[in-house]
Structure 1
């Protein structure tokens, strides 16, 4: 166990979470095994993950049959009832981790509907409803970092709801999210409440940035761009540099009097969570987005295949705060070469919302097919 790189992450203040949820995986002890053997500390879900879990196979059929027999025929209700059962069962497996870490880890995330990602008012309403419905201390409600949802994040925190802020790509958006967290805590404290139990992570997406930037680099190199060598030198480096600068901002905020006042009242920092950490480019090491982002007070939510790869041949060492000057140079070079990181991150947010909505369409579509099949008795 001592040699397991996933277990070694604890030495560097990082918590491995699993970016995957499935009923059978929780029920058959596989999730508990990761907790026991790999020091797994949390679980995240999203519409794409639920689509894979529910849309294929038959493991959800018994519950769907029961619900249909009781008169439930609304597709959204069928999905949500099944999802909430999964989240609750997963919360129970992770609860000992929550207790052991005194509420720092052990969280399970459930996302608000991606259909309302551009409506802050509906988002906070749904966040409250899901928080109440699941009713588990170690639940996190996932809210996207779209401009209309930033106030919803602040309101949720001010009401004592744990929040996993998702779809963060740019440093500016992250600054707004951290500000919303701090303001939310200040409001909760001003009402005379304790704040130590409120937890939040800021899910900063990584690999998608390199996929977009490297595609642009490759097409410019193929077209014979005069800066081809300089462009090629940036392949696979911009996302890590971007993440490192987000972490530097986090460290700066921790030094402020405003944060110190909240910390003195028991506040937990809003940890950066590295998301989208599976490597999509076969020319890079498959553990690049785990190896390169290890540091204090952070989380990496890792897809199963990348978790297996990191366990097998990953390297656990403090990397996140190393060569910050180099990271700054990479970003300024990207700017000099007109790689338009700001435009890329803005598009990735729009695309991310659309992708989750598409996954949700497919998920509800597959649940509708199940409903029709089970109703017809086939």
Structure 2
């Protein structure tokens, strides 16, 4: 029997996480099957994923009705419901977490997207959610916005596992690594066991190409379509290798610290002209995570190509970004636009989600 292609990715040191959660996938045994057969090693969620889960099924109706009397707001009610799912998923992945000695098996829950530009609010909610979920193998997602950086640093210093989300640009990614390392240094100075603190930095891919590709057509650079996000990711990995080396990092590593792995997000192809496994195939490499929607996992299992690609063609990646610059395309400006839009893209489904909860409450 041929080896499962999704599972083979792990042979190259990359972990596949599922970018999806709902009750049905857990109660039906599908998630357990993905763990056992595809080697899926974690789960990420976001407001849009939960909005779809709660709005499109009756699986949550009883919980909403039961928990509504104790909740002061619809947001509080949502988190009470979501935490049950996160705990169930974390328990399913506990075996992976133990086997990997805390290197994998994480389930991510995001703070309210309304707090994306609020340092104090994010820090407070990250601590609250961490305490309420009560699982070692959970990561709290905090957007890597400018105000998010300090919240990330404080949360890491407090011993909370953090998934930094909504990263598009290289300068911001480097700031995120600094927030992580500074947080670990503070935790170590306070006598915390930093070997138990984990983090990933989620670098969003396909959305970059969706915005940049039309500009490439205008500039006569159509041959670079679908390549800018991959080039950026390869350069991010170079930053990762540089930052998590040298004497400053070594001191933390000697105390048991784990590097903050890069996580590739937004990995489904938005352009039908591209192969549906394009972004997964292009960035397979050691000490990274790729969070993948169900349909992309299915596609990769069927026809994905497994190879150690992340550190191939790094010169080409450098040239791609240089050509953009020469053509007058400001990638830093583009990635800031994507971050701003990304905050809005999570706010809208969250508003829709809170309305769905309100409607459900009124029914019961």
Q: Same fold (TM over 0.5)?
A: yes
Q: CA 1:72 to 1:184, structure 2 compared with 1: closer, same or farther past 3 Å?
A: closer
**Distance in 1 between the 2:12 and 2:57 partners?**
39
Query: How far did residue 72 of structure 1 move?
Result: 4.5
Q: Give me the TM-score of the superposition, normalised by structure 1.
A: 0.94
Where does residue 287 of structure 2 map in the other structure?
297
**Which of 249, 254, 259 is matched with 2:249 structurally?**
259
Q: Kindly provide the CA deviation profile for residues 127-157 of structure 1, in whole angstroms up to 9, marking residues without a partner as x.
A: 0010011110101000000001101101111
Where does residue 83 of structure 2 map in the other structure?
84
Question: What are the equivalent positions in structure 2 for 1:134-145 lying under 5 Å apart?
Answer: 134-145=133-144
Q: Secondary structure at the match of 1:50?
A: helix
Query: How far did residue 71 of structure 1 move?
Result: 5.4
Where does residue 233 of structure 2 map in the other structure?
243
**Distance in 2 between the 1:270 and 1:211 partners?**
27
Q: CA 1:72 to 1:172, structure 2 compared with 1: closer, same or farther past 3 Å?
A: closer
**Distance in 2 between the 1:14 and 1:64 partners?**
37
Mark the runs of 5 or more structure 1 residues left unpaired by the alignment.
Answer: 221-226
| Alignment partner of 1:36 is 2:36 | yes
| Alignment partner of 1:20 is 2:20 | yes
**Distance in 2 between the 1:160 and 1:66 partners?**
32
Query: How far did residue 2 of structure 1 move?
Result: 5.4
Question: What are the equivalent positions in structure 2 for 1:114-125 lying under 5 Å apart?
Answer: 114-125=113-124
**Distance in 2 between the 1:323 and 1:57 partners?**
45
User: How many correspondences in the alignment?
Assistant: 364
CA contact (8 A) 1:274 1:299 kept: yes
CA-based RMSD of the aligned residues comes to 1.2
Where does residue 224 of structure 1 map in the other structure?
none
Question: What are the equivalent positions in structure 2 for 1:172-211 lying under 5 Å apart?
Answer: 172-211=171-210
| Alignment partner of 1:45 is 2:35 | no
**Which of 354, 361, 370 is matched with 2:360 structurally?**
370
Q: Kindly provide the CA deviation profile for residues 70-103 of structure 1, in whole angstroms up to 9, marking residues without a partner as x.
A: 5547322321111010111111101111001000
Q: Kindly provide the CA deviation profile for residues 285-325 of structure 1, in whole angstroms up to 9, marking residues without a partner as x.
A: 11011000011000000011111111111111111111111
Mark the runs of 5 or more structure 2 residues left unpaired by the alignment.
Answer: none
Where does residue 212 of structure 2 map in the other structure?
213
Where does residue 223 of structure 1 map in the other structure?
none
Larger Rg: 1
Where does residue 325 of structure 1 map in the other structure?
315
CA contact (8 A) 1:210 1:237 kept: yes
Q: Secondary structure at the match of 1:203?
A: strand
Where does residue 341 of structure 1 map in the other structure?
331
**Distance in 1 between the 2:228 and 2:25 partners?**
35
Where does residue 65 of structure 2 map in the other structure?
65
Where does residue 7 of structure 2 map in the other structure?
7
Query: How far did residue 191 of structure 1 move?
Result: 1.2
CA contact (8 A) 1:196 1:265 kept: yes
Query: How far did residue 59 of structure 1 move?
Result: 1.0
CA contact (8 A) 2:159 2:192 kept: no
CA contact (8 A) 1:16 1:39 kept: yes
Q: Secondary structure at the match of 1:236?
A: coil
Q: Kindly provide the CA deviation profile for residues 5-39 of structure 1, in whole angstroms up to 9, marking residues without a partner as x.
A: 11111111000000000011111111000000000
Where does residue 302 of structure 2 map in the other structure?
312
**Distance in 2 between the 1:124 and 1:351 partners?**
22
Where does residue 361 of structure 1 map in the other structure?
351
Q: Give me the TM-score of the superposition, normalised by structure 2.
A: 0.98
**Distance in 2 between the 1:215 and 1:55 partners?**
34
